[in-house]
Structures are given as C-alpha cells and as structure tokens.
Structure 1
C-alpha cells in the first residue's frame, strides 16, 4: 500500500538551498561559506537548524569544516562526491575504459555541434599542447592536455555529458596525470592533432576513431608499466 509523502523538514529545505548555491557555482569549490549569523539572517532560520543543514552537507561530502577557520565548499555536487568515492575503489584500467566511452562520444558530438569559435579555440588549445611538448615542459603539457579534452567535451553541447566528464576527470586527476606523463611522444601528439582536425572538419567518425587510437595507446602503456601501478 502506498504511503503518503512527507513534506521536507526545515533542515532539508535549508540544505537544499545551500546545495543549489554550490551546484549553481555561486559557492565555488574552495570557498569559505558565509558565517553563521549572516546565513541565519538570510535564510531566516535558527542556529540549530542551520547547523543541522551544514552537518548534512558535510556528511554528503559537499562541505568540510576547518577548526577555528570556518566551513568550506569541497565539491561542486553530490554526484561528484559519489563518483570520486567510486573511482577511488576502481583500478586505472576501469577508469580508462569509462574515459574511452565518454571521450569518444564527446568527440563524435563535438564534430557535429561545435561552433566556429569553439573550433578556433580547439586549434589554439592544441597549439598550447604542442608548444609545451616541444619545450619539454611535461607539467605544462599535462595541464594543457586536460584543458583540451575538457574543451572537446564542452563542444559536445550535452550538459549531462559535460557534468559527468568534469566529475570523472576531477576524481581521476592523479591517474590521468600519471598516464599522460608516460605518453608524451610524437605519435601521441599526432593523434591529438588528428582528433582536433577531425572535429574542426566536422568528421565525427574520424574524431571517434582518433579517441580510440589514443585510448588504445594508453592501455598499452598501462600494461607495459605493470597494470595499475602508475
């Protein structure tokens, strides 16, 4: 027998309002949230209600309290927290397979939907990657390579895919960085140029194929370096 639905408690309402501030970007990751008196006045709630809501968001992994300093945003969404916990329990190969699926579809969609401005930005971002590699600046190359892939995903114009990829990339940052350090060679750079050029030329099949090639290369590097020990 169906039960009557319960209305949200005041604590739940406050927590949802604060969560929406985080997910909308008004409260960014790393930001210290306003002090209790300010939040109590703005939300028109008691100190106990506010503290319960904050505790709920801390438990959800969105906020963290630094003793004697304040409460800070530590994740942009509850989804990000869940994915991060799940990825930490997964091996590098599984994470790479997920990236394969997401990046291949993103490249395919980006080739169909990218704007002229996005095409130009992808070419500029590719040049930044190539310049870093040519200068032997591996740290810079890793940073620019991640930005390139995020730009490709953004060009897909699929909001769910963009959000999901952002969280996956954030949660798997260490493994992505480790893999990229091993892969910086002429072939790796050339595949990425083929990927960007395919998107610019709106050749979706060729863009997806380029993703398949560099992910396959990453898998080969992973095996050669001893599996999940990167």
Structure 2
C-alpha cells in the first residue's frame, strides 16, 4: 500500500492576495523596484511569487488603487510611490499651498544632502552624475516636461544617497507635489533666468562636505515670501 502523503492546506484566496501585496510592497520598499521603474510582467510575477494570475492581478489592482502603482496603456505597470501617502498629499495640493510644498522639500532635502555627503557610495556618485547629466540634457533641449521629470529624479537620487529609508519614503510622498511646483515655476518654456545650477550640490556630495552640501541644497529651495 503506497504511503499517504499529506498536503499542506491551501490558504484562502483573500489571504493569498494579501500575502502577495505584502511581498510586492516589500520589493518596492527594499529598492528592488524604485519609484519610476516598471515592475516585472504578470507571467514573471507568477513565476517569482508562486501564485496564480488572478492573485497577481488583484494584488496589483489594490496597489494601483492605493496610489503605489500606475498602469500605463501599452507600456506596463510602474512604481509611482513607495507608500499610500503620496496620493493623499497630491489631493491636498492647491496653488495656495505651493509655498508649503517648498518648505517641506527644504526640510527634507537639506538634511538628505548633508547625510548623502557622509554616506554616499561609489554607486550613488555614479547615479548622481547620470541624473545631473540627464537634467542638463533636458534643459539644453528645451523640453519642459522632460526637464521637470529629470529635475525631480536628481533630487530623488540625492535623497537615496542619504541611505535613510524613512526620509526616502517621506520625500517620495511629496513627489507629485514636487513636480507640480517645478512645473509651475518653469511655465511653458525653459528660459535662462529660471535656470538653477545643481552641479555645486553634486560636487559637495562627491567631496564629502556635509555643510556645503546642506547649504547648496537649501540655496535653491528658499520659499517665496508670504504676502
């Protein structure tokens, strides 16, 4: 008589979806899929996580609804935030709160620049160089939308170089608001008087000078005077 093989109970569907959401979020928070990157395809996720397609679809749908992921027709699904706070911040963004956004950015990015100068790795420095080059190329090309994205990417790269997970999450939560303030400042065209050099900030981080890095980060994040 063949031996009896006991099989592990299959968890309920709802539980599998929740566990899959946790796994997806862990990969996002761990930096495997950074903000702005495209996540693997559905078949790849099925293989990687060992669950069915329907479970993957429901988990992704939940994260899209939460504002963590975004589906782009014909392109795939992208990470747009590391947490659910970003869409909440975005809903609060109005023209009369732009100054508050700049003040929050200053509070986060000045400290991020200081920490980045102390903690940056060779990989961080390479990423900063690439991000700065992309920002400069977008400016030279006069492409407003591309410049706004590239500028935000450079600031995000500085924050990443600080190697403080909570700081990175807080900064990511204002990503949409940050891009909106930059777009409002630039207007419909890139004109010389609106150009702000960021090379000195990158140089200070590269040199390992935390005080200079903090000063440079704060210099172009001074909020306009309140009426």
CA–CA distance in 1 between the matches of 2:107 and 2:202?
18
Judged with a 3 Å threshold, the aligned counterparts in structure 2 of structure 1 residues 165 and 183 are, in CA distance, closer, same or farther, namely farther
Q: Does 2:23 align with 1:21?
A: yes
Judged with a 3 Å threshold, the aligned counterparts in structure 2 of structure 1 residues 60 and 12 are, in CA distance, closer, same or farther, namely farther
Judged with a 3 Å threshold, the aligned counterparts in structure 2 of structure 1 residues 197 and 96 are, in CA distance, closer, same or farther, namely same
Q: Which consecutive residues of structure 1, in runs of 5 or more, have no partner in the other structure?
A: 1-8, 66-71
Aligned to 1:136: 142
Aligned to 1:105: 111
Judged with a 3 Å threshold, the aligned counterparts in structure 2 of structure 1 residues 184 and 30 are, in CA distance, closer, same or farther, namely farther
Q: Is the 8 A contact 1:63 1:73 kept in 2?
A: yes
Cα RMSD, aligned residues only? 4.1
CA–CA distance in 2 between the matches of 1:74 and 1:116?
27
Q: Does 2:199 align with 1:193?
A: yes
Q: Is the 8 A contact 2:128 2:158 kept in 1?
A: yes
- 1:85-124 counterparts in 2 under 5 A? 85-90=88-93, 91-124=97-130
TM-score, structure 2 normalization: 0.64
Q: Does 2:132 align with 1:126?
A: yes
- 1:153-192 counterparts in 2 under 5 A? 153-170=159-176, 172-181=178-187, 185=192, 188-190=195-197, 192=198
- Map Cα deviations across residues 91-127 of structure 1 (whole Å, 9 max, x no partner): 2222221111111111111111112342243234323
**Cα drift, residue 31 of structure 1:** 7.8
CA–CA distance in 1 between the matches of 2:163 and 2:57?
38
TM-score, structure 1 normalization: 0.63
- Map Cα deviations across residues 1-37 of structure 1 (whole Å, 9 max, x no partner): xxxxxxxx95763343132233124898788867xxx
CA–CA distance in 2 between the matches of 1:29 and 1:15?
21
- Secondary structure (helix, strand or coil) at the match of 2:132 reads helix
Provide the aligned length of Structure 1 versus Structure 2: 198
Q: Which consecutive residues of structure 2, in runs of 5 or more, have no partner in the other structure?
A: 1-10
2:86 pairs with 72, 83, 88, which one? 83
CA–CA distance in 1 between the matches of 2:61 and 2:146?
38
- Secondary structure (helix, strand or coil) at the match of 2:163 reads coil
- Map Cα deviations across residues 194-227 of structure 1 (whole Å, 9 max, x no partner): 21111111111111111211011x536xx7xxx9
CA–CA distance in 1 between the matches of 2:113 and 2:206?
11
Aligned to 2:208: 202
CA–CA distance in 2 between the matches of 1:148 and 1:63?
21
Aligned to 1:211: 217
